[in-house]
Amino acid sequence: MMDQRGILGFLVVVCFILFHHDQYAFGQLSSTIEQAGLFSLRSSLGLRAKEWPRKVDPCTSWKGIMCRTQDGRVIGINLSGLRRTRVGRLNPQFSVDALTNFTFLDTFNASGFSLPGPIPTWFGEKLSSLRVLDLQFCSITGSIPASLGNLGNLTILNLSGNNLNGIIPTSLGQLSSLSVFDLSRNSFTGFIPASFQSIENLTVFDISSNSITGPIPPSLGTFRSLRVLNLSRNGFSSSIPAQLGDLSSLVDLDIGFNSLSGSLPSDLRGLRSLQKMMVGDNALSGSLPDNLFATLTQLQFVFLRNNSFSGSIPDLLWSIPELRLLDISYNDFSGVLPNLSSSANASAAVFNLSHNQFYGNLASEFRRFSFMDLADNYFQGRVSEGPYRNSSLKGNCLQKVESQKRSEDCSSFYASKNLTFDNFGLPTEQPSPTPGGSSKSNKRLRYVLVGVFASLGFILVLIGLLVLCLCIFRRGAPDQRGRGVSPAPVGAESGSPSAVGVSIDYANLGEKFTHAELQKATGEFSDLNLVKHGHSGELFRGVLENGSPIVVKKIDVRLAKKDSHMVEMELFSRASHTRLVPFLGHCLDHEHEKLLVYKYMPNGDLSNSLYKNVRNEDGSMQSLDWITRLKIAIGAAEGLSFLHHECSLPIVHRDVQASSILLDDKFEVRLGSLSDVCTQEGDNQQNVISRLLRLPQTSEQSASSSPSATCAYDVYCFGKILLELVTGKMGISASSDTNTNEWLEQTLPYISIYERELVTKIVDPSLIVDEDLLEEVWAMAVVARSCLNPKPSKRPLMRYILQALENPLKVVREDNSNSARLIKAASSRGSWNAALFGSWRDSSSDIVSTPSQGGNREGSSFKQSFTAGSQGSAQYNVYDRSSSNKKFSRDIFPEPFEFPATERTNVN
């Protein structure tokens, strides 16, 4: 089956062939006016000379330019896939005035090419020959100019995925030749104009994901050539017009996620070519017409979920030969399942019948399907032995199956149907126990019990006294600075770093969701919505009833670290920052299952976004450009700097890796994976037993062998993330195995403050950087190395790392006069250079420590190699102080203000 995008692409190709035939050969450009227009367009859009070079014929050598063979006139311009220069990327605009020079322009395609700004009004006045206008995902703003209705030759109009708003102009009804009309994923309001009924040749009509309201116009039934009709995710109300059944060529019908009411009209049986029926998430009700599916033999996907349909399922629906997916969940369907083996495509079919009122016994045939969700119905009896990987049976009345309904609920349901419930295969009355034993035996038992409880009471009193003494000792014992040691926060585990605080302010903790709401939003926590298995819980994507995308963390408290969800909730209740992942709410109703709700991040995390799933022409993956990588580094540093320096007590993240750096739709950073946060360890927070026994406790690892609870540990892990951004090698921040250590040992020698060219040997080859950008890459590599100093006390504070990343050229350039200093010099702890680099600059014998336990734990070490032998026979000492490019510390960085002694002590 062709999906909607496939159909649209097919139609575009067909249009090209029909309209241009053999004219799309590459002739030589003949018009000097058009040549000047192309160079003007190249300049206004800031296109790279590599793709539109000078001194060559544009018709034969410029990407995306199509000319007619007979007269060399430009008839097609395709900007899709072209890239701007660095200057052009800084200020992109919808600047295409030069298009007025092309009298015969037939096609203008800029899909995916950023053109922020409104569509020029003159488009409809000066481009009268235009047949194809494709501006999807171009960041366009404003409204559609009414003048576009003058483009009488237009056959394809695609404006999807932009920021357009306002109403759909009535004048577009004049486009009588229009075949493809796509305004999806914008912010249009109002109604579908009545003038559209005059467009007779439409094959694709897509206005999904807008805010269009009112009833669905019955006039849509006059589009007899229509193959794709998508009105989903709007505000349509009233009933489904029966006239839609006249669309005999329709392949894809999607009217889901609206407010439609009434029943499903039997007239839809006229959709004989229909392959996809999407009417879910509305307010439809009533039973399904028995004859509806008699003629719909091509159906492959049927979505009726989340309505109020009732009654039984027509037998014809089960037996559609091409049926691949049937989702009728969250309705009020009832009855006994028919013999499903009649489905010709049974082995590949997926059925979701959950959250209905089906009942009776289950035949073994349901195991033959690819997947079958029968959860939350009233099936009873026994099922055949074996695993249930291809099915979900929870919430029923089945025997010997986990997570079933209560016996009272099952009995009540079957009684309402005048049927008998089998009581899970158990007898209805349990025999009473046989009385036995003499009074003498009972008396002896009472004596034994009294003795046991007395002993337990004595032990509990001793334990209470011991705890009281320890608490008094902790309150009164001064630390090395003469301050009293405060008690451990509530909820902190014994022997582990202290939690963020002592209580949770639920008033500042988002919305309280019900378990049913989140089940519905995530499709019953379906595997299809599973994002990943996190170390503290499973993450599922979902959509709330208001259309807001979310991510739900499902935590099994029996498997997760004790009270880890409380630590995270406590952080969100007391700390608020734009660099933390937005926390929307929670559900703590179940004893063993806790649910935390976050805002959905469209670009996932850094580990899966550095290389996008968009392949270039040569088959390679498209990677993030340097500007975006630097933006991500600065954003992550801002988040960590907030935790380390702006909270009342320094907070340590303890899980800083690429998968913890979440990215929104604009690649702005939001820190996630916050279940391990804690306040920073210090002498006053050491474990009580460690102090009593005088046990050593290093700054790199806590007593509980958990990741080190110091800010310096976060800095070390952040250094590995910076290396990932520079080199493009993912997985470094999440690993500490031998291979990672060896890679660091081979890579770090190529990072030198004295020699820029060395870093080019480790830079991600997919990065395209000019001279200025290369200096920024070099600077980030230098900062990364300073973060990886083996001595925690020599690693820079996160606030200074942030300053360095915000001013990368000052890290590596020599012209740092007093007026160019980042912060006024007043340091009693050394220069800015020393703050950022510690002692690694001055020593070639340091050992780089890398974590040995878990993804980010320090412990093992390896010696650095300071030669670049793999690049040639000559060995180059990157710390050679006799280098002609040598820079002294005060020439490299301006000095910051004074370092408070307590801050530097905290990171040890």
pLDDT digits (tens, 9 = 90+) for 137-167: 999 999 999 999 999 999 999 999 999 999 9
User: Does the structure show a pLDDT above 60 at 388?
Assistant: no
Mean pLDDT across 439-450? 60
pLDDT at 872: 32
pLDDT digits (tens, 9 = 90+) for 678-722: 887 653 333 332 333 333 333 344 333 345 678 999 999 999 999
Most confident of 139-148, 393-402, 894-903: 139-148
Mean pLDDT across 179-186? 94
pLDDT at 16: 47
Per-residue confidence at 559, pLDDT binned at 50, 70, 90? confident
pLDDT at 119: 94
Active site residue 655: yes
Of all residues in the chain, the percent with pLDDT exceeding 70 is 72
pLDDT digits (tens, 9 = 90+) for 207-216: 999 999 999 9
Mean pLDDT across 769-785? 88
- Return the ∠ at Cα 165 (arms to 159 and 169), rounded to 5°: 75
User: Does the structure show a pLDDT above 50 at 270?
Assistant: yes
Find, among 888, 886, 843, the residue nearest to 866 by Cα: 843
Per-residue confidence at 11, pLDDT binned at 50, 70, 90? low
Per-residue confidence at 77, pLDDT binned at 50, 70, 90? very high
* Fold of the 602-681+708-813 domain: Transferase(Phosphotransferase); domain 1 (1.10.510)
User: Does the structure show a pLDDT above 80 at 443?
Assistant: no
Mean pLDDT across 601-620? 68
Residues 145, 124: contact at Cβ < 8 Å?
A: yes
Q: What CA–CA distance (Å, rounded) separates 98 from 47? A: 14
Q: What are phi and psi of 600, to 5 degrees?
A: -70, 135
Mean pLDDT across 81-89? 85
Per-residue confidence at 276, pLDDT binned at 50, 70, 90? very high
User: Does the structure show a pLDDT above 90 at 490?
Assistant: no
Per-residue confidence at 634, pLDDT binned at 50, 70, 90? very high
pLDDT digits (tens, 9 = 90+) for 643-672: 999 888 889 988 899 989 999 988 999 999
Q: What CA–CA distance (Å, rounded) separates 890 from 831? A: 7
Residues 106, 73: contact at Cβ < 8 Å?
A: no
Per-residue confidence at 495, pLDDT binned at 50, 70, 90? very low
Residue 655's contacts (CB-CB under 8 Å, 6 or more residues apart) are 535, 673, 674, 675, 676, 707, 855, 856
- As a CATH number, domain 507-600 is 3.30.200.20
Catalytic residue among 605, 655, 714, 846: 655
- 617 burial level (CB within 10 Å; 0-12, 13-18, 19+): exposed
Per-residue confidence at 546, pLDDT binned at 50, 70, 90? confident
Q: Mean pLDDT in the chain? A: 76
Label residues 9-34 b or e (16+ Cβ within 10 Å = b).
eebbeebbeebbeebbebbebebeeb
Where do the domains of the chain lie? 341-426, 507-600, 602-681+708-813
User: Does the structure show a pLDDT above 80 at 845?
Assistant: no
Q: What are phi and psi of 670, to 5 degrees?
A: -130, 120
pLDDT digits (tens, 9 = 90+) for 519-530: 999 988 888 888
What pTM did the predictor assign?
Answer: 0.50
* Encoded tokens for 679: 């306040």
What 3-state DSSP class applies to 302?
strand
Q: What are phi and psi of 450, to 5 degrees?
A: -60, -40
